[in-house]
Amino acid sequence: MRLNKSTSHAVRILIDCAKAESRLVKVADIAERLDITQQNAFKIVHLLSKAGFLTSVRGRHGGVRLARPAVQIRVGDVVRSIETLGQEEKPAGTGGNLHRIVDDALDAFISVLDQHTLEDMAGASQSTGTRESGGRSGKSRSGGGSGRSRRGPQQSAPRTLG
């Protein structure tokens, strides 16, 4: 299953706040680090605050931080709260089995996410050095920087029979 962009951004914003521990983080800084627009970041932060995941402090030295320790926030709870925003209850008899099957699949997906906390996610992204922006940097992950192909000398281009 795929998360919608807002949900993905929400999880990434919370991971960023988890890495800051109890320090206040400016939303503009989060947006820059995660390569999302400030407008979108503010909108998602508002939703996360309403859902009880973030607290905010206004003013010049304000910002946001997790409302409770990262170990107490399950990723499934975050996904569930953001993915279900704006969804209305489906009227009985519409969609039949398809809605039931998709709902069951979503429940199974979220139950796996419920096994992981923000602390798990923040620790994993720090220890592996992954980029939280979704890998859109265009930089090579090989770290070599020599510009040579990964093909070894024994791997030449296929030949055509003449």
CA dist., res. 39 & res. 31, Å (int): 9
Residue in the structure block whose two tokens are 């914003």: 13
Domain edges within the chain: 5-87+110-122
159 pLDDT more than 80: no
For residue 25, give the H/E element and its range: none
The mean per-residue pLDDT over the stretch 56-76 comes to 95
Q: What is the CATH number of domain 5-87+110-122?
A: 1.10.10.10
Q: 33-53, pLDDT tens digit by residue?
A: 999 999 999 999 999 999 999
Q: What is the DSSP string of 110-127?
A: HHHHTT-BHHHHHHHHHH
DSSP percent split of the chain into helix, strand, coil, nearest 5: 50, 5, 45
Chain centre to alpha carbon of residue 100: 26
Dihedral through CA 143, CA 146, CA 148, CA 149, nearest 10? 0
Mean pLDDT over the full length of the chain: 79
The mean per-residue pLDDT over the stretch 143-161 comes to 42
- 74: β partners: 117
Structure tokens at 97: 């089995």
155 pLDDT more than 50: no
Split at pLDDT 50, 70, 90, the class of 70 is very high
Q: 71-82, pLDDT tens digit by residue?
A: 999 999 999 999
pLDDT at 138: 38
Residue 132 burial (CB count, 10 A) = 17
For residue 64, give the H/E element and its range: strand 63-66
Q: 90-148, pLDDT tens digit by residue?
A: 555 566 789 889 889 989 999 999 999 999 999 876 655 544 444 433 333 334 444 44
- In this structure, is the dihedral angle defined by the CA atoms of residues 45, 49, 55 and 58, taken in order, positive or negative? positive
Residue 5 burial (CB count, 10 A) = 12
